[in-house]
Amino acid sequence: MPAAIRLAAPEAPAAVLAFPPRPLRWLFLDLNSYFASVEQQLNPALRGRPVIVAPVDTDTTVAIAASVEAKRYGISTLTPVWEAKRKCRDLVVAPAQHEKYVEFHDRIIEEIWKHVPVTMVCSIDEVACRLLDNENSLEAAIALAHRIKAGIRANIGECLTSSIGIAPNRLLAKLATDMKKPDGLIVLQGHELPERLYDVPLREIAGIGAKMERRLAQDGILDIRQYCERRPRDAGNAWGGVNGDRLWYLLHGVDLPDKPTQSRTIGHSHVLSPSKRGLEPTRLTARRLALKAASRLRRKGYRSRLLVLHGKFEDDKSNWRASIKLPNTQDSFVVLHALDQLFPRLAEAGRQRSGGFRLRMIGVTLCEIETVEGDQGSLFAALDPNDPLARETRTLALSRAMDRINERFGRNAVSVGPLNGGRLDAVGTKIAFGRIPEASEFHE
């Protein structure tokens, strides 16, 4: 064969593909029979009894939740109430109390934050947490899961059990929660994949419904084993798009970055140097992080309705967390005012500790984000300079002006309040493997 002619190497089969390290990266928590469990927690007389939750008081509706005891009778979510009563004569039908479910949800999220940062609230009964580097060993991850379970049981209620899945990526961690219910804990390690998944039905994978299942079957794929034994490109062709390639890698334990979507949160955290872990350096660092987050919020064209302040003390592995509502803003001054209202709670928590206020990590996160549809106008703002919207309009204009100055002359050319004087750690943008920052972030 002439030297100038080269044939492309065939795509390697799964058995010989070299995968990157696949450490445990995600913890996924799924609350068991959540609505029904809340009802049992609120009413001790319901504990140990088959319970369903119904949206209205009629047999023609369906159950929106079924307790563990009810599921033993073949009753599940969406079972008609009349059918559930036929299956179990001792069934208790509890009217839905949505405000209570939200209240318990908020308390559970707050409890989880004490043990690990919450990366994503997927639904009212599902939470995903990305593990830190010191938490992704098998022993550390299992210990963390047990602490979360114990914390919910002790501080929220003994009826609130959960199934936890731990795996190299979020999809597999979620799949693991379904492998043992109730009160399960399943770990899927990289070296076990994809073989540990071979008994999981295709339909349990997000994105595979009846139509996709038929499409795969037409290509000779009837289960996860057959899907994973294909080459990535062949699996993608059977799927009919790039998502097929992506799923193939996820099932093999590769932690792929999420597809670009609107950010759910914008925030920054910082590990304080030992000499800067007192009250005032922490306060100044929190303000700096809040300003960075607010600047990113404006640059991306978002507003936020919730500010979360969180941290970790030197003498405690758990996370401290508090939040405050915002008036749907992207204004640095409004964000700082909210932070100033929250910080005394952190200060008080530190003063109550035996070693005094010594904070190892501080973070500020803006949540409940939505896209700005256009600046709101107000007749009263135009007529009355003291109108709240008029004041925010002026301070927002000032915030945007500071953005432009810092972009032109460098970070901290102008800011709100003192940021120097040796009391503050450098909290500039850092390049990490998980996220490549945009160029403009280096000016924030």
Mean pLDDT by 10 residues, the chain (444 residues): 40 56 94 97 98 88 94 95 97 93 92 93 92 92 98 98 98 96 96 95 89 93 94 90 86 85 77 87 94 88 92 82 90 92 94 86 92 50 42 56 59 55 48 36 44
Sign, CA dihedral 136-138-139-142, equals positive
Same domain, 160 and 122: yes
Q: Which residues are paired to 62 by β-bridges?
A: 80
Nearest to 403 by CA among 316, 325, 291: 291
User: Tokens representing 268?
Assistant: 């920054």
Same domain, 73 and 163: yes
Number of compact structural domains in the chain: 3
Same domain, 180 and 201: no
Choose one of 186, 203, 238: the last residue of a domain. Answer: 186
Residue 14, in any domain of the structure: no
Cα distances (Å, whole numbers) of residue 267 to 216, 221, 270, 398: 41, 42, 11, 21
User: Tokens representing 162?
Assistant: 């959960």
Same domain, 291 and 435: yes
Start-end of H helices in 24-159: 34-42, 68-71, 81-87, 98-113, 138-155
Nearest to 22 by CA among 173, 147, 146, 159: 173
Q: In what order do the strands lie in the sheet with 51-54?
A: 65-66, 51-54, 92-95
Contact 100, 42 (CB under 8 A): yes
Same domain, 85 and 206: no
Residue 301, in any domain of the structure: yes
| H/E segment holding residue 321 | strand 320-329
204 is catalytic: no
Catalytic residue (choose from 126, 213, 314, 368): 126
Residue 162, in any domain of the structure: yes
Residue 174, in any domain of the structure: yes
Same domain, 175 and 213: no
User: Tokens 């039905």 appear where?
Assistant: 201
- Check which CATH number belongs to the domain holding 166 and give it: 3.30.70.270
Same domain, 242 and 272: no
Same domain, 279 and 414: yes
The residue range of the domain holding 276 is 266-443
Residue 256, in any domain of the structure: no
Nearest to 252 by CA among 237, 234, 230: 230
pLDDT of amino acid 322: 93
Residue 257, in any domain of the structure: no
Same domain, 180 and 227: no
- Check which CATH number belongs to the domain holding 284 and give it: 3.30.1490.100
**What percent of the residues of the chain are helix, what percent strand, and what percent coil, each to the nearest 5?**
45, 15, 40
SS3 of 323, please?
strand
Residue 378, in any domain of the structure: yes
Contact 141, 3 (CB under 8 A): no
Contact 305, 326 (CB under 8 A): yes
Residue 13, in any domain of the structure: no
The length of the chain, given as a count of residues: 444
Same domain, 329 and 388: yes
pLDDT of amino acid 328: 86
| H/E segment holding residue 337 | helix 332-351
Buried b (16+ CB within 10 A) or exposed e, 405-432: ebbeeebeeebbeebeeebbbebebeee
pTM of full prediction above 0.75: no
Residue 44 corresponds to which amino acid? P
Same domain, 32 and 64: yes
Same domain, 282 and 223: no
pLDDT of amino acid 407: 62
